[in-house]
Amino acid sequence: MNPDIVQLVLVTIVTAATPLFIAAVGELVAERSGVLNLGVEGMMIVGASVGFAVAYMTDSTVLGALAGTASGVLMAALFAVLVIGLAANQVASGLALTIFGIGVSGLIGSGFVGQKRTAAQALWIPGLSDLPIIGRLFFGEDLFVYAGIALIALVAYFISRTRAGLTLRAVGDNHTSAHVLGLSVGRIRLLAVLFGGGCAGLAGSYLSLVYTPFWSPGMTAGRGWIALALVVFASWRPWRVLGGALLFGGATVLQLHAQAFGIGLPGQLLSSVPYAATVLALIVLSWRNRRGAAAPAMLGMPFISDR
């Protein structure tokens, strides 16, 4: 196969995987604190609409990404009021957040349908970006990709090597004991949920600013749900999220290149490949969980302080 085509496929896989692992690593932090936020899809699509709207009006990709991130934080704050402040059911609240986000994004983006803007520029290092096969893969991505990988490295270090990360895990594993030891369960969970919302908003803005530089209703196309499955697939470990995202990104890209190479399969069947891969992964994980895969023990359980 032509090396240029191989490089193009690999770069496309990384591009498709980027919004998945950015959203998933944020959700991983929230779930490590014991909060299950099923509203990732809603936060992502609001981030996509707000990010594109701000970037289009200001002609600034950076401001668009910041606005998309901030919108995800605001959505997460609303979720936190329900599940941390009022101890509402986390599953129902997350689903409601997704439905709310889809509606709000349609309202925000209604004036921008059909508008386009230039995608964020990719990095270009003379001599390195020209290398065959690996040049653009390692030295020619956009800054979102490098920022996302750095984010995973920071989260991995935070969770496994810092006192604050140990505290986060303690709250997620036994919030009652953490509370008895004097830890502020509510504050820790609030910060974790807000971080997850910011990551989801950033992932959404990546879709509308880089992946497809325009706004379209429903453009997240279930990526928020795939990000949720990725967290389980990765057994709540940050670096595994990156590996899983590349796998799911490969499944997404497969449909595009299969059509380009003229493989005679229905387009609808090829479009279902990423979701079929998600279902298959969950089946495998269901089997593995019987052998002791470790989820945070308090995941999805509300904490009500008696004082």
For 89-131, the pLDDT digits (tens) are: 999 999 999 999 999 999 999 989 888 888 777 888 877 787 8
Predicted confidence at residue 289, as pLDDT, reads: 61
- When pLDDT is averaged across residues 200-204 and rounded to a whole number, the result is 97
Q: Whole-angstrom Cα distance, residue 190 to residue 303?
A: 12
Only one residue has tokens 């919108």, namely: 71
Q: Whole-angstrom Cα distance, residue 195 to residue 252?
A: 27
Predicted confidence at residue 299, as pLDDT, reads: 92
Res. 304: pLDDT tops 90: no
- When pLDDT is averaged across residues 229-237 and rounded to a whole number, the result is 88
CA 181, 183, 189, 192 torsion: positive or negative?
A: negative
Predicted confidence at residue 264, as pLDDT, reads: 64
Say which range, 53-57, 127-131, 213-217, has the weakest mean pLDDT. 127-131
Q: Which residues contact 52 (CB under 8 A, 6 or more apart)?
A: 64, 109, 112, 115, 117, 205, 208, 209, 214, 215
Only one residue has tokens 């493989």, namely: 263
Q: Whole-angstrom Cα distance, residue 169 to residue 165?
A: 6
For 41-50, the pLDDT digits (tens) are: 999 999 999 9
Q: How far is CA 238 from CA 93, 225, 276, in A?
A: 25, 17, 23
> Which of 80 and 125 is assigned the larger pLDDT?
80
Q: Are 303 and 175 in contact (CB under 8 A)?
A: yes
For 240-249, the pLDDT digits (tens) are: 899 889 988 8
Residue 212: Cβ-neighbour burial (10 angstroms; 0-12, 13-18, 19+): middle
- When pLDDT is averaged across residues 215-225 and rounded to a whole number, the result is 91
Q: Whole-angstrom Cα distance, residue 104 to residue 47?
A: 10
For 148-163, the pLDDT digits (tens) are: 999 999 999 999 999 9
Q: Whole-angstrom Cα distance, residue 131 to residue 94?
A: 45
Predicted confidence at residue 65, as pLDDT, reads: 95
Question: 220 is written with which tokens?
Answer: 């997240």
Predicted confidence at residue 163, as pLDDT, reads: 95
CA angle, 278 as apex, 249 and 68 as ends, to 5°? 55
- When pLDDT is averaged across residues 171-183 and rounded to a whole number, the result is 92
- When pLDDT is averaged across residues 74-96 and rounded to a whole number, the result is 95
Predicted confidence at residue 248, as pLDDT, reads: 82
- When pLDDT is averaged across residues 209-229 and rounded to a whole number, the result is 91
- When pLDDT is averaged across residues 142-147 and rounded to a whole number, the result is 92
Rg (CA), the chain: 20
Q: How far is CA 63 from CA 49, 75, 202, 218, 241, in A?
A: 13, 18, 11, 22, 27
- When pLDDT is averaged across residues 69-75 and rounded to a whole number, the result is 97
Average pLDDT, the chain: 88
Neighbour-count burial for 167-202, b at 16+ CB within 10 Å, e otherwise: bbbbbbbbbeebbeeebebbebbbbbbbbbbbbbbb
Residue 116, strand partner residues: 214
For 16-31, the pLDDT digits (tens) are: 999 999 999 999 999 9
> Which of 117 and 289 is assigned the larger pLDDT?
117
- When pLDDT is averaged across residues 60-83 and rounded to a whole number, the result is 96
Q: Whole-angstrom Cα distance, residue 85 to residue 289?
A: 31
Predicted confidence at residue 129, as pLDDT, reads: 80
